[in-house]
Amino acid sequence: MVGNLQGAIIAAGRGERLRSSTGGVPKPLVTLGTKTLIARQAEILREAGASEVLAVVNSETARLIKERRVELPEHLKLVVRDTANSMESLFVLGERLAPGYFVLATVDAVMPAGEVRRFVSQARAMTSERAMDGALGVVRWRGDERPLFAEVSTDRTITRLGGGQCPTVTAGIYYLPQRIFDFVADARAGGLGAMRQFLAMLLDKGLLLGAIELSEAIDVDEASDLEAARATMGDKA
């Protein structure tokens, strides 16, 4: 385990599209196998080398965790904040992350633990050997709604985020330096309202982000995604 690597999870959204199929349960508390999505993600980040994991959750999720006595890993620390969007959720985490690198995942990005370990290992190599500022996990686009397309050069550098269709999309896992939060004021001044817009802005600011292709990742946004995750990864949860 790399002691100075921090883990972070964005789990503050309401997950409206999934609620009708989960009895109104907020997305972080939906189960995959025997674990909630937030607990599963925290354990996987820990296995990948994070010494501690911070997760931003909204007040509803925090209340239900307390009322239902939901078990969470000891190394997971919750930050309760009702945020306007994913970018602001990221900025809440940034208030508490120490200098250095952190591995960030969205709570609904379901990946095998082995793939996350490989991602972190390759991301560390990218940032130390190739002078990349950070790395993003990507997968082949399979028709998901509202993907964040990532254009990747032959040397695995991300040249564009967003815009027109291309073969790869972001997978919901990121290896980033804490200094990205130096650009918070610029993002807000520019009226940005989503993490994907902030990441694209980092490219515009000259940061070099590498792409690491993952073999499998499911973005759990609606009932069919959850069914697919349970079918393919339930035994790995």
Predicted pLDDT of residue 237 = 45
The pLDDT tens digits for 54-87 are: 999 999 999 999 999 999 999 999 999 999 999 9
Of 78, 13, 6, 72, nearest to 43 (Cα)?
Answer: 72
Q: Is the pLDDT of residue 191 over 80?
A: yes
Q: Is the pLDDT of residue 187 over 70?
A: yes
Question: Angle at Cα 142 formed by Cα 138 and Cα 144, nearest 5°?
Answer: 90
The pLDDT tens digits for 210-231 are: 999 999 999 998 899 999 999 8
Q: Is the pLDDT of residue 145 over 90?
A: no
Average pLDDT over residues 163-183: 97
At residue 84, what is the residue type? Answer: A
Q: Is the pLDDT of residue 209 over 50?
A: yes
- The more confidently predicted of residues 237 and 173 is 173
Q: Is the pLDDT of residue 169 over 90?
A: yes
Report d(CA 25, CA 107) in Å as an integer: 14
Predicted pLDDT of residue 234 = 58
Q: Is the pLDDT of residue 17 over 50?
A: yes
Residue pair 160/201 in contact (Cβ under 8 Å)? The answer is no
The pLDDT tens digits for 40-54 are: 999 999 999 999 999
State the sign of the Cα–Cα–Cα–Cα dihedral 138, 144, 148, 149: positive
Average pLDDT over residues 183-211: 98
Contacts of 187 (CB under 8 A, 6+ apart): 87, 197, 198, 201
Q: Is the pLDDT of residue 235 over 60?
A: no
pTM of the model: 0.94
The helices-and-strands tally (H runs, E runs) of the chain is 8, 13
Q: Is the pLDDT of residue 143 over 90?
A: no
Average pLDDT for the chain:
94
Domains (range + CATH), the chain: 6-236 (3.90.550.10)
Q: Is the pLDDT of residue 154 over 70?
A: yes
Report d(CA 176, CA 89) in Å as an integer: 15
- The more confidently predicted of residues 235 and 186 is 186
The pLDDT tens digits for 85-135 are: 999 999 999 999 999 999 999 999 999 999 999 999 999 999 998 889 999
